[in-house]
């Protein structure tokens, strides 16, 4: 266990935000889960007791019939904003006094940094480069993330859970988002920051960064496993696999929705459903490709003269 | 008549002058007499006026309403202030609960203000050129009074802003706040997220050190592989893309990260993206109000009510 190495990584000024992000994210997830659980309990109660549902104020916060429904922004909201501003300022001042922003040697194109890392918030994308070619990891995936985020309101047709924390009413959307944000985005950033060392190789926390370490890894392509040799055969085979993934996956999503989320399925138009299924499968393709690489050393699935997937 | 005229003002100028002097001196004496009474009364008035500064014209011209603790004045305090009028006068009593809101949108905006402020100060000491940039940062760190804390604050506020934006999006998602009628504002928010990351990324190169240089090299190398538009991307070379005309060249102003890249980064960072982001922020905040204020905490809805109209007299719990 190389504590010094671990400390060097954790205390690198630009890594501090991520070290801070982990407990912060944990705290806010706890806050959300706590409120979701309370709301879910209330929903269960109200659903069991229709008479209560008619009269109940439907919030988990205390409420008395005589209370005013609204409060003045001044002072009840503005004092919170002023306090928040003061607290953020204090935190920022202390942070800025105690920790210096990084400044390394002058830029030198002849001296490659190893590892050369993107800013920490893009390390998830850089980590993806291990599993996908740059045109997917660096261009297509980010575009899909942005588009995927933007279409969320238009493909999530579930009217429940608007304006309150809940889990039971939005299991699918919340688990999808949690998976995408916490696992695929934040966890990948953590891997990119704390695990990846020289040569972008995997170093466990506390393992010394060995700049001369070589790993002999023989990666294969999926068509090789099936004994395909001609370019034509590889291209056609890969195309079938990828298209097949979306078709079979789409069928699986359909089957899931038809059985478990019939109401949501009924509300969705064909376009909404197919867009949702496509984006969802694209998201799932990332961990699948990771598994293919890590478990079976498979590099490409689809090989063509122009691009590889 | 003529004599009189003469004696008064003409040939006997001496007499006339004496008359004038007399008139002036008596006049002055009168003035002094009057001053002796006027000044004290005016001064008294002035001092009395100062006892209640809120009644002065200057004050009332700035603050256009009274400050007695009445509901009306509380509302006016928010509505008649340009910086506060973004808020409604009153909000739902639960909407101020921090455990619901997390306050991350507001904190992000506050950090943006801090970043603008510290950023403008940094601009006074920085030249976006290969010769000067790194030395400017050294100068800032070692010689400029408070230069180090200025740079530190700018950097850490930027990182905090990225985290703030993520957590804000996370909260908005978990509370389903992107649902009808706030779909469009969610989209503006996604764009703001992208611009926040781009702002941070363009700033990364500016110290012109190894860290920024290689981070931006790694980042923009991806653009090489853009399908159709990058020279290493699928179908790029078929469309005539080379390192000297593809999308990466456009981003960097060259085929490597060099002086032009530094200048472009600087301009995007200090002018281009802040303007676009500010415009989007205006729309974002305005839409929050127009879409009915923040989404909740709303009364919970039950499965059975899912397909009933949300608004109007039939809405749940209203």
**What is the distance between the alpha carbons of residues B227 and A136, in angstroms, rounded to a whole number?**
9
Which of B154, B179, B227 has the CB atom closest to A139's CB atom?
Answer: B227
pLDDT of amino acid A83: 95
Assigned token pair, A143? 């575009």
Contacts of B218 (CB under 8 A, 6+ apart): A116, A117, A118, A126
pLDDT digits (tens, 9 = 90+) for B35-91: 999 999 999 988 888 888 888 888 888 888 888 888 888 888 888 888 888 899 899
**B230 contact residues in A (CB cutoff 8 A):** 135, 139
Question: Does B316 lie at the interface with A, CB-CB under 8 angstroms?
Answer: yes
Question: Does B212 lie at the interface with A, CB-CB under 8 angstroms?
Answer: yes
pLDDT digits (tens, 9 = 90+) for B138-197: 999 999 999 999 999 999 999 999 999 999 999 999 999 999 899 999 999 999 999 999
Taking an 8 Å cut-off on Cβ atoms, the answer to whether A164 and B310 are in contact is: no
pLDDT of amino acid B2: 46
Å from A73 to nearest chain B CA?
Answer: 5
| Contact yes or no for B220/B243 (Cβ under 8 A) | no
**What is the distance between the alpha carbons of residues A36 and A306, in angstroms, rounded to a whole number?**
48
Helix residue spans in A49-170 (DSSP H) = 50-55, 73-76, 78-98, 123-128, 134, 141-155
CATH of B100-205+257-293 among 3.30.505.50, 1.10.3720.10, 1.20.810.10, 3.40.50.970: 1.20.810.10
Question: Does A171 lie at the interface with B, CB-CB under 8 angstroms?
Answer: no
**What is the distance between the alpha carbons of residues A297 and A308, in angstroms, rounded to a whole number?**
16
Question: How would residue A2 be classed by pLDDT, with cut points 50, 70 and 90?
Answer: confident
pLDDT of amino acid B14: 58
**What is the distance between the alpha carbons of residues A188 and A302, in angstroms, rounded to a whole number?**
24
Distances (CA, A) of A259 to A157, A238, A284, B169: 17, 31, 20, 30
Q: Is the pLDDT of residue B13 over 90?
A: no
| Contact yes or no for B57/A35 (Cβ under 8 A) | no
Continuous segment of H or E residues that includes residue B276: helix B273-290
**What is the distance between the alpha carbons of residues B45 and B16, in angstroms, rounded to a whole number?**
42
Determine the residue of chain A that is closest to B164 in CA distance. Answer: A21
| Contact yes or no for B174/B139 (Cβ under 8 A) | no
In a 3-state reduction of DSSP, which class is residue B91?
strand
**What is the distance between the alpha carbons of residues A181 and B305, in angstroms, rounded to a whole number?**
30
**A81 contact residues in B (CB cutoff 8 A):** 103, 106
Top-ranked range on mean pLDDT: pick from B4-8, B245-249, B305-309: B245-249
Q: Using alpha carbons only, what angle is made at residue A251 by residues A245 and A252, rounded to the nearest 5 degrees?
A: 85
Give the residue-averaged pLDDT of B196-219.
Answer: 93
Distances (CA, A) of A299 to A94, A192, A294, A308: 47, 19, 10, 9
Assigned token pair, A121? 């918030």
Q: Where are the domains of chain B?
A: 100-205+257-293
Mutate to test the interface with B, among A100, A164, A177 (most CBs of B within 10 A): A164
Q: E strands along chain B, which residues?
A: 90-92
State CA A120 to chain mean position distance.
14
**What is the distance between the alpha carbons of residues A286 and A20, in angstroms, rounded to a whole number?**
26
Q: Global pTM?
A: 0.89
Q: Tell me the percentage of chain B whose pLDDT exceeds 70.
A: 91
User: What ipTM did this prediction achieve?
Assistant: 0.94
**What is the distance between the alpha carbons of residues A233 and A4, in angstroms, rounded to a whole number?**
51
Continuous segment of H or E residues that includes residue A71: strand A70-72
Q: Give A195-253 as a DSSP string.
A: IB-GGG-B--TT----TT-------B-HHHHTT--SHHHHHHHHHHHHHHHHHHHHHHH
**What is the distance between the alpha carbons of residues A173 and A187, in angstroms, rounded to a whole number?**
19
Question: Does A62 lie at the interface with B, CB-CB under 8 angstroms?
Answer: no
Taking an 8 Å cut-off on Cβ atoms, the answer to whether A159 and B179 are in contact is: yes
Å from A291 to nearest chain B CA?
Answer: 23
Question: Does B76 lie at the interface with A, CB-CB under 8 angstroms?
Answer: no
Rg (Cα) of chain A, in Å, rounded?
25
Give the residue-averaged pLDDT of A263-274.
Answer: 92
């Amino acid at each position: 266990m190389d504590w010094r190495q671990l400390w060097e990584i954790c205390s690198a000024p630009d890594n501090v935000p991520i070290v801070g992000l982990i407990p912060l994210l944990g705290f806010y997830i706890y806050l959300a889960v706590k409120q979701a659980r309370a709301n879910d309990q209330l929903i269960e109660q109200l659903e069991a007791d229709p008479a209560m549902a008619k009269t109940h104020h439907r919030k988990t916060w205390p409420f008395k019939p005589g209370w005013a429904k609204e409060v003045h922004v001044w002072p009840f909201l503005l004092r919170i904003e002023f306090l928040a501003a003061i607290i953020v300022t204090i935190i920022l001042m202390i942070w800025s006094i105690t920790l210096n922003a990084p400044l390394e040697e002058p830029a030198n194109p002849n001296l490659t940094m190893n590892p050369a890392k993107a800013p920490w918030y893009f390390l998830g994308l850089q980590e993806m480069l291990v599993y996908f070619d740059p045109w997917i990891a660096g261009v297509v995936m980010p575009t899909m993330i942005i588009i995927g985020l933007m279409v969320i309101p238009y493909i999530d047709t579930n009217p429940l859970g608007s304006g309150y924390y809940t889990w039971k009413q939005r299991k699918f959307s919340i688990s999808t988002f949690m998976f995408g944000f916490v696992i695929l985005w934040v966890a990948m950033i953590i891997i990119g920051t704390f695990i990846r060392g020289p040569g972008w190789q995997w170093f466990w926390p506390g393992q010394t960064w060995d700049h001369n370490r070589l790993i002999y890894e023989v990666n294969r392509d999926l068509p090789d496993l099936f004994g395909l040799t001609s370019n034509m055969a590889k291209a056609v085979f890969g195309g079938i696999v990828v298209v097949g993934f979306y078709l079979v996956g789409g069928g699986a999503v359909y089957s899931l929705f038809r059985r478990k989320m019939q109401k949501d399925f009924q509300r969705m138009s064909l376009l909404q459903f197919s867009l949702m299924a496509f984006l969802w499968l694209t998201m799932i393709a990332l961990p699948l490709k990771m598994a293919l690489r890590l478990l079976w050393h498979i590099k490409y699935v689809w090989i063509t003269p122009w691009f590889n997937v | 008549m003529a004599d009189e005229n003469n004696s008064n003002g003409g040939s006997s100028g001496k007499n006339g002058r004496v008359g004038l002097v007399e008139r002036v001196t008596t006049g002055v004496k009168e003035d002094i007499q009057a001053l002796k009474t006027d000044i004290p009364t005016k001064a008294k008035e002035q001092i009395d006026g100062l006892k209640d500064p809120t009644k002065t014209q200057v004050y009332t011209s700035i603050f256009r309403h009274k400050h007695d603790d009445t509901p009306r004045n509380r509302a006016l305090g928010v509505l008649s202030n340009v910086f506060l009028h973004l808020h409604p006068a009153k909000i739902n009593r639960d909407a101020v609960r921090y455990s619901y809101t997390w306050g991350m949108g507001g904190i992000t905006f506050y950090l943006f203000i801090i970043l603008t402020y510290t950023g403008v100060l940094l601009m006074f000491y920085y030249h976006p050129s290969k010769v000067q940039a790194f030395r400017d940062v050294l100068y800032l760190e070692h010689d400029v009074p408070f230069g180090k804390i200025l740079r530190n604050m700018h950097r850490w506020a930027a990182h905090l802003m990225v985290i703030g934006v993520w957590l804000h999006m996370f909260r908005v998602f978990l509370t389903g706040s992107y649902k009808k009628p706030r779909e469009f504002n969610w989209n503006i928010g996604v764009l703001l997220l992208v611009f926040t990351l781009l702002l941070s990324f363009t700033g990364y190169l500016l110290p012109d050190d190894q860290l920024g240089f290689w981070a931006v090299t790694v980042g923009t190398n991806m653009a090489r592989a853009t399908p159709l538009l990058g020279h290493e991307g699928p179908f790029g070379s078929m469309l005539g893309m080379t390192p000297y005309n593809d999308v990466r060249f456009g981003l960097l102003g060259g085929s490597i990260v060099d002086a032009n890249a530094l200048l472009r980064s600087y301009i995007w960072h200090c002018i281009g993206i802040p303007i676009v982001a500010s415009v989007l922020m205006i729309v974002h905040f305005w839409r929050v109000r127009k879409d009915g204020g923040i989404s909740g905490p709303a009364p919970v809805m039950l499965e059975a009510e899912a397909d009933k109209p949300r608004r109007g007299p039939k809405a749940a719990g209203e």
